Amino acid sequence: MDKKTVIFEIRRQANPDAPAVWETFELEWRPGMNVTSAMMEIAANPVTADGKPTTPITYDSNCLEEICGSCAMRINGKARMACSALVDNLDQPIRIEPLSKFPLVRDLQVDRSVLFENLKRVKGWIPVDGTYDLGPGPRVYPEQQEANYPLSNCISCTCCMEVCPQFNESTNFVGAATIAQVKLFNNHPTGKVLKEERLRALSGDGGIQECGFAQNCVEACPKKLPLTNAISDVGRDVIVQVAKDFLRG
Ligand code: SF4
Ligand code: SF4
Ligand code: FES
């Protein structure tokens, strides 16, 4: 009996200026196979379905358990994590492409540093100097922890930005992930010391007003962050901040 196989069509590009080409691979099916494990198999034996030797595919990956956020790519047209994309749940041939909204490095690897620049812009951190003992921090009550925990699950995968119609070069929109982290850190009793600065950072060019509220982001998020709630809550806070700043002169 013939062995069951899985067909992959993978978009290859040797560098940002090289032409894109598609290569087809046919791998033996294995139970529990996912897109990352298939890519590892191709690396071990980089030969296309028609027997032509090729190079291993370049892609990002680390944790293999949907925690590090590095392996986002387009799989059958959908932005998602390769390590949790089980082959058995995908239509064949499985088409794999890099994310389209970020500068391409090679093959499936893109440069997503814009998200980290955006997090710097909104001071997406809690400002504590850890070089000496500050004593116990303020209490965080269980209700606050429960409200904030879903926001802390962001893995910086950028799927929400990939699918967002407003995330493009003409708007410079920061995207949903950054807005959600503003809510998380503004809600924190220590983090809120920078609340006003964060809200001001979201009030200008590329800020929260660019969001068209199409809600593609919340559908695409692999960690199910409550992004639309975060966008409306932070949007309201930004308006209040702008009004306060106006009245202060
Ligand atoms: S609601 Fe729509 S426009 Fe706003 S961040 Fe999400 S996908 Fe983008
Ligand atoms: S909000 Fe969701 S989709 Fe966006 S970067 Fe975080 S985990 Fe990824
Ligand atoms: S390898 Fe870390 S999320 Fe996929």
Residue pLDDT, tens place only, 7-39: 999 999 999 999 999 999 999 999 999 999 999
* Residue closest to 233 by CA, chosen among 194, 193, 182, 191: 182
8 Å CB contact between 194 and 185: yes
Query: pTM of the predicted model, to two decimals?
Result: 0.95
8 Å CB contact between 150 and 225: yes
Nearest-angstrom CA–CA distance, 103 and 26: 29
**Angle of CA points 117, 122, 126, to nearest 5°:** 105
8 Å CB contact between 75 and 27: no
**Pocket-testing residue among 35, 37, 63, 221, ligand 3, by greatest number of atoms within 8 A of Cβ:** 63
Nearest-angstrom CA–CA distance, 206 and 214: 16
Residue in this structure with the two tokens 């995207």, named with its chain if needed: 175
Residue in this structure with the two tokens 């139970």, named with its chain if needed: 31
The atom number, within ligand 2, closest to the CA of 224 reads 2
pLDDT tens track for 111-167: 999 999 999 999 999 888 778 887 888 899 999 999 999 999 999 999 999 999 999
Using the mean position of ligand 3's atoms as its centre, give its distance from the Cα of residue 60 in Å: 8
Q: What pLDDT score was predicted for residue 8? A: 98
Pocket around ligand 2 at a 6 A CB cut-off: 154-160, 176-177, 180, 220-223, 225, 227
Nearest CA to ligand 2 atom 8: 157
